[in-house]
């Protein structure tokens, strides 16, 4: 007996479709890519950037797969502050930032316009929500139900970030806000990966000053063991430097059974500067990754690039680190962990959508 595709359960059809897309992606590549990009911004702080179709063309055979998300914050152009100068970056103006929810629809529609072989190489993420809003989880649910088959995660979104958090209009985001727990709970329910930016410390701390956000972040992670979390940049920023006990903090995450669902990305060229600042720093970083290769992912954290050179430049900045990793560890950090986590997310989110999204009736 021949079973037609339309006779299969919706969940089975969704999983088969995902498998076919991945096979199409592998065939399209035809060779081993240099890396997958776990942290990529398609648009900038005024929602301008790279066309999604152009992004896949830029990736070529160099980048296998990539996350894709906008920026959840829009820089306001306040004429009284900058006059005719139109700021495109948050450091170019004293005007506030505000949450820009349309970014999710923009990402979804651009993704849906792609052919299947290009879709298979991208993992769109939901970012257009205010993490201080108790309705934020409802926004994420609405995005999934409006655009089923598109998103694999949420983020990158920010709680504490140097110079950014203080510019956001409205209530200040907090690691202790129940609104954030609602977001993490829903991500755990659906299988959405959470990519969170949270600085490990405040800018320019006084000597001996304890970083209050570190304990709050650990408590948040422990409250949500069913949620896959990627901590962006290991909490490092432009002026937020690694702590003296940074290696011990990372090792604690890697060895604590209560934090086995937490992963870390080493995205951003600013992070590469710290990791390769000296032979000793590079060796310590490599030793950590070689001991726990399943817990790290590489990402470029490039914003709206004009060519693949920008992403590759971040990869090349880590050259001293790659040289000290075992072949297994390097493969996992640059490709294997991405495939494992995002393939699982795709499967779980599509299954949730199959169970919760009602098919739209045809006219």
DSSP, res 32: -
pLDDT digits (tens, 9 = 90+) for 71-87: 999 999 999 999 999 99
For CA atoms 210, 298, 158, 347, give the dihedral sign.
negative
User: Looking at the predicted structure, is the pLDDT value of residue 12 above 80?
Assistant: no
Dist. CA 110–CA 94, nearest whole Å? 32
- Asked if 282 and 321 touch (Cβ cutoff 8 Å), the reply is yes
What Å distances lie between residue 158 and 30, 34, 220, CA to CA? 37, 29, 14
d(C-alpha 155, C-alpha 148), whole Å: 17
What integer pLDDT is reported at residue 44 of this predicted model? 92
From CA 135, how far away is CA 140, in angstroms rounded?
Answer: 9
Whether the per-residue pLDDT at 359 is higher than 60: the answer is yes
Q: What is the mean pLDDT of the chain?
A: 91
Query: What digits encode the pLDDT tens for the residues 198-213?
Result: 988 887 777 877 788 8
For the chain, which residues make up each domain, given as ranges?
A: 32-356
Domain 32-356 has CATH 3.40.50.10490: no
Could you give the count of Cα atoms lying within 13 Å of 215 in the half-sphere of its Cβ?
3
Cα 239 to chain centroid, rounded: 21
The span from the CA of 232 to the CA of 298, in Å, is 10
34-80 residue pLDDT tens: 999 999 999 999 999 999 999 999 999 999 999 999 999 999 999 99
pTM above 0.85, yes or no: yes
Mean pLDDT of 95-107: 95
Contact 70, 47 (CB under 8 A): yes
Residue 243 burial (CB count, 10 A) = 17
């Amino acid at each position: 007996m021949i079973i037609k595709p339309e006779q299969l359960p919706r969940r089975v059809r969704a999983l088969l479709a995902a498998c076919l897309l991945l096979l199409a992606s592998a065939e399209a590549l035809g060779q081993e890519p240099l890396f997958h990009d776990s942290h990529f911004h398609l648009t900038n702080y005024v929602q301008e950037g790279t066309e999604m179709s152009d992004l896949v063309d830029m990736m070529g055979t160099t980048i296998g797969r990539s996350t894709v998300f906008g920026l959840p914050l829009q820089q306001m152009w306040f004429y009284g502050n900058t006059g005719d100068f139109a700021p495109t970056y948050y450091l170019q103006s004293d005007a506030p930032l505000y949450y820009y929810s349309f970014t999710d629809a923009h990402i979804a529609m651009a993704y849906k316009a792609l052919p299947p072989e290009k879709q298979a190489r991208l993992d769109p993420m939901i970012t257009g929500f205010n993490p201080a809003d108790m309705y934020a989880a409802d926004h994420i649910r609405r995005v999934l139900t409006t655009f089923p088959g598109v998103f694999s995660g949420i983020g990158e979104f920010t709680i504490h970030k140097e110079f950014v958090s203080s510019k956001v209009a409205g209530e200040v985001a907090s690691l202790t806000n129940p609104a954030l727990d609602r977001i993490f709970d829903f991500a755990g329910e659906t299988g959405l990966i959470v990519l969170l930016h949270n600085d490990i410390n405040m800018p320019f701390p006084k000597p001996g000053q304890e970083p209050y956000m570190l304990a709050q972040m650990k408590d948040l992670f422990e409250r949500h063991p069913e949620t896959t979390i990627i901590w962006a940049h290991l909490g490092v920023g432009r002026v937020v430097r690694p702590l003296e006990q940074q290696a011990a903090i990372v090792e604690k995450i890697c060895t604590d059974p209560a934090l086995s669902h937490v992963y870390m990305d080493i995205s951003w060229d600013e992070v590469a500067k710290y990791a390769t600042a000296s032979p000793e720093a590079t060796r310590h970083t490599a030793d950590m990754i070689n001991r726990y290769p399943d817990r790290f992912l590489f990402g470029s954290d490039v914003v709206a690039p004009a060519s693949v050179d920008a992403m590759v430049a971040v990869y090349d900045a880590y050259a001293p680190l790659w040289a000290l990793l075992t072949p297994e560890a390097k493969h996992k950090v640059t490709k294997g962990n991405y495939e494992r986590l995002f393939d699982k997310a795709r499967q779980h989110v599509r299954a949730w959508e199959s169970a919760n999204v009602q098919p739209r009736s045809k006219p």
